[in-house]
Amino acid sequence: MVYNIAIDGPAGAGKSTIAKRVAKELSFIYVDTGAMYRAMAYYLIQQHVNGSVPEEIASKCRGADISIEYRQGEQIVLLNGENVNAYLRTEEVGNMASVSSANPSVRARLLDLQRGLAAAQSVVMDGRDIGTTILPDAAVKIYLTASSETRARRRYKELIEKGEECNIEEIQKDIEERDQRDMNREISPLCQAEDAVLVDSSEMTIEEVVSTILNVFHEKTGN
């Protein structure tokens, strides 16, 4: 039996940390769809595409062939056959991904890949439109969010620990702008699916969020 868990929510809500942990507990595959959009964005940056010209994004995105592999449980994103994982987590790529993911041609290129992965095996898939568009029949749908202050604080801590210089007000502003773009785009905007369970992690520990989701899974599936 294949079970799919969809976790959607805004940037910095902790989706990937939580989804990875839930996948590990259940021995499911973790699918990070944001990384696929980031790989596309990385490609577009390399091609010097102007993010504010949708026609340019639509035509250039055809040159990006994105696929996924798993090595020791870690998702590897292949862009035209090359492992690009190391280049995906920068602010530049994140900002371009937020812009280019609003483009229908970009979304169409990634939809089949995401559905195919979920049809073949049990997955915990995180993103923005998993419960609403990609996997409308997922056994469990979670909308994971947190206040923009909390999300900025978490991101700030992460960057400081990595030794990067940053400014918390700027991070919060960036997060809020990204939320606006992700929630207000025409195609597949970020929103809570009607049948999704809302989890606000602002005052919760990682353990509490993971066990909340596992409880929802047990309740919904009887497993």
- Enumerate binding residues for ligand DC (CB under 6 A): 11, 33-34, 37-38, 94, 97-98, 101, 127-130, 178, 182
Using a 10 angstrom Cβ sphere, with 0-12 exposed, 13-18 middle and 19 or more buried, the burial of residue 81 is exposed
Nearer Cβ to ligand DC, position 6 or 222?
Answer: 6
Q: In angstroms, what is the minimal distance from the CB of 98 to ligand DC?
A: 3
Q: Are the beta carbons of 15 and 138 closer than 8 angstroms?
A: no
Q: In angstroms, what is the minimal distance from the CB of 110 to ligand DC?
A: 8
Q: In angstroms, what is the minimal distance from the CB of 218 to ligand DC?
A: 26
Q: How many CA atoms lie within 13 A of 87 on its CB side?
A: 20
Nearer Cβ to ligand DC, position 15 or 217?
Answer: 15
Q: In angstroms, what is the minimal distance from the CB of 101 to ligand DC?
A: 3
Strand order in the sheet with 66-71: 66-71, 74-79, 82-83
Give the separation between CA 204 and CA 186, rounded to whole angstroms. Answer: 32
Beta strands in the chain (DSSP E): 4-8, 29-32, 66-71, 74-79, 82-83, 123-127, 140-145, 197-200
Q: In angstroms, what is the minimal distance from the CB of 94 to ligand DC?
A: 6
Nearer Cβ to ligand DC, position 94 or 104?
Answer: 94
Rg from Cα positions in the chain = 17
Nearer Cβ to ligand DC, position 110 or 218?
Answer: 110
Nearer Cβ to ligand DC, position 79 or 130?
Answer: 130
